[in-house]
Amino acid sequence: MTTSVQKSHLHRIVLNNGIVVLVAENQTADIIAARIFVRAGSSYESQEQAGLTHLLSAVLTKGCDGLSSLEIAEQVESVGASVSADTTADYFLLSLKTVTLDFSEIFTLAGRILRSPTFPEAEVELERRIALQDIRSQQEQPFTIAFDQLRDIMYQNHPYARSALGNEATMSRLTRADLVRFHQTHFRPDNIVISIAGRITPENAIALVEEVFGDWQSPPTEPLLRLDLPELTVEPQIKIKPQQTQQSIVMLGYLGPSVLSDDYAALKLLSTYLGNGLSSRLFVELREKLGLAYEVSAFYPTRLLRASFVVYMGTAPENTQIALSSLRKEVDLLSIMQLEEEALQAAKNKILGQYALGKQTNAQIAQVYGWYEILGLGIDFDRDFQETIASVSAADAMASACRYLREPYVSLVGQEEAVNSATAYFNP
């Protein structure tokens, strides 16, 4: 028996087999977008198989029951549609977008791809070689090296420590059998959220999902696998990578809370205040006033588990030490001085404005609501997030900074003398 909930324009229905369906009817454009989320991101890989879900995302659309890679591509491209797969730490995603007339056909194709991929050996080998080239390419990019170092010391043996690509050793070992096993284990109806937005009624959307996925059943004797991950503790340290580069990458990381935390909204605001755009604190103080930064920014991604609050700067080698001390000082100030009301409101306006702009297209709408559902936040989070951001006070922001932004991990990449001399400053 299906269960349904309606919130204004959004309909949420749970099918008999456990699939959660979200439908946002939007008649303004002759486009329908769908996002099929699977609760099986890279966090569900073993350390020995790092990169598995990335490889799966690259191969999933390259063959399914009865169709070759070329035939899938021709069917999609003949109607100007798009179908693609991707993976993150917290979920796997199959995306599609079409004009309204062709949605039923392309959604049915997506169902075949999701349920019955064939993982052709030749495609697996080709995509593995491409992934290995990407891994080697990233090993030459100072920012990527610095970020990988930072994740490694922050998360250690936790899945969030790993690149989505894995490394050369793990990617080289992956086989077609590994993909088949992962797919059979995690791709099941009680592990899936389907989010649809566009010129389609909820009744027609549900009927189509039932037609494509209604006969799909989960194995009755095999319960869903649950993550059993190590506890994370804050143990600040510094890691350097001498490299003959034209600039130093200076990166500080703080182990922050997940999206489920009461501190999440305050830290989102502080990240926006520090490093989002040309008017941000780090840009104005460290680039415009002090001339230290080629680039400078901050980010705090939304994660189901403990997320990393990161500030970073690209600077001239001779400025490495002062860049490190200046970045640390700017973050430390958040725990010492309350933000002025004007600065706090500006950060709120920026984050809420960007949030609104991120829900303009049907693809964005399908993404946002499906993302919230797969993370377990529910369809009310869209409203709750905006209200919570608006209600954060300067005292709330300062208290969150005191809880999470006091003990940084440090990652440095650059010329040997520059990064070695900068380490003398570090005092966790």
Residues 174-232 pLDDT 10s: 999 999 999 999 999 999 999 999 999 999 999 999 999 999 999 888 888 888 888 88
Distance (Å, rounded) from C-alpha 381 to C-alpha 367?
14
With beta carbons less than 8 A apart as the criterion, state whether 207 and 213 touch.
no
For a pLDDT cut of 90, what percent of the chain falls above it? 84
CB atoms within 10 A of CB 278: 8
With beta carbons less than 8 A apart as the criterion, state whether 36 and 114 touch.
yes
Mean pLDDT of 130-136: 96
Q: Calculate the average pLDDT of the chain.
A: 93
Q: Each residue of 269-308: pLDDT tens digit?
A: 999 999 998 889 999 999 999 999 899 999 999 999 999 9
In this predicted structure, the answer to whether residue 17 has a pLDDT above a threshold of 90 is yes
3-state secondary structure of 176: helix
In this predicted structure, the answer to whether residue 7 has a pLDDT above a threshold of 60 is no
Residue with tokens 């179908």: 83
**pLDDT, position 48:** 94
pLDDT band at 6; cut points 50, 70, 90: low
| Tokens linked to 317 | 């080698």
pLDDT band at 14; cut points 50, 70, 90: very high
In this predicted structure, the answer to whether residue 427 has a pLDDT above a threshold of 70 is no
Distance (Å, rounded) from C-alpha 210 to C-alpha 231?
40
| pTM of full prediction above 0.85 | yes
Q: Matching CATH topology for 3-213 and 238-425?
A: yes
Q: What is the CATH number of domain 238-425?
A: 3.30.830.10
3-state secondary structure of 134: helix
Closest CA to 355 of 276, 262, 279: 276
In this predicted structure, the answer to whether residue 428 has a pLDDT above a threshold of 90 is no
Domain positions in the chain are: 3-213, 238-425
Distance (Å, rounded) from C-alpha 338 to C-alpha 170?
46
Rg of the chain, C-alpha, whole Å: 23
Residue with tokens 């005292």: 395
In this predicted structure, the answer to whether residue 1 has a pLDDT above a threshold of 50 is no
225-245 per-residue burial string, b: 16 or more CB within 10 A, e: under 16 = eeeeeeebeeebebbbbebeb
**pLDDT, position 118:** 97
Q: Which fold has domain 3-213?
A: Cytochrome Bc1 Complex; Chain A, domain 1 (3.30.830)
**pLDDT, position 317:** 93
Q: Each residue of 361-396: pLDDT tens digit?
A: 999 999 999 999 999 999 899 999 999 999 999 999
In this predicted structure, the answer to whether residue 240 has a pLDDT above a threshold of 80 is yes
